[in-house]
Chains A and B, each alone.
Chain A
Amino acid sequence: DGGITQSPKYLFRKEGQNVTLSCEQNLNHDAMYWYRQDPGQGLRLIYYSQIVNDFQKGDIAEGYSVSREKKESFPLTVTSAQKNPTAFYLCASTTSRDSPINYGYTFGSGTRLTVV
């Protein structure tokens, strides 16, 4: 079955460490997104990418970096510059600029990152 796979499900990071969250989709979707979820704050957009080798900052990009070398993959790196990284991270995808209207966004099952 097609879908989005996020790994790992749980991740622990030490202070000052960079960590990378994986997001892979086999839906042949063009656009991919990273959201951060904190209790009571909904989901906030970190980065998004419409096509390979192109990505844009979202509302809270500071302390994060991404790459889009392949259509199916959109990894997120949480750098040591992100001072409060403990959160639930969700990856999403959709087929094109117009299709969120018709098909919505498909979400992965998330990665819970905790700083220890």
Chain B
Amino acid sequence: AQSVTQLGSHVSVSEGALVLLRCNYSSSVPPYLFWYVQYPNQGLQLLLKYTSAATLVKGINGFEAEFKKSETSFHLTKPSAHMSDAAEYFCAVSDLSAGGTSYGKLTFGQGTILTVHP
């Protein structure tokens, strides 16, 4: 079974500072990993995804994440935070595997709320 742990339920940064949101996963098969962002009272928007191609994945709004198999991590970063980045971020792992029979369910972490101070 897959699982995801997001370290830190709240992260606070100053505008212009580095954003680092941590995600560790557990998977019995090579994982497919996702980062989503959620603004208050809205659905989730895909930021980026890892699908076993390049280990450094670039997403929208200047975010990127690096897949590190040895550390079972998929941390999300952005060099310079903007006020509009304030939201809740979710890391997720898919249970799809090559040749498997899964329907492709996503398992989510608990979420990290990012606050950006002026």
Contacts and interface: CB of A to CB of B under 8 A. Distances in A.
Interface residues of B, number: 27
A8 interface: no
Given A90-B44, A104-B46, A58 B102 contact: no
Contact of B41 (A44, A92, A112): A112
B101 to A, nearest CB: 9
A64 interface: no
Interface stretch (B12-20, B68-76, B106-114): B106-114
Contact of A105 (B9, B51, B106): B106
Interface of A: 4, 6, 9, 31, 33, 35, 40-45, 48, 50, 56, 58, 88, 90, 92, 94, 97-98, 100-102, 104-105, 107-110, 112
Interface of B: 4, 6, 9, 32, 34, 36, 41-46, 49, 51, 90, 94, 96, 102-111
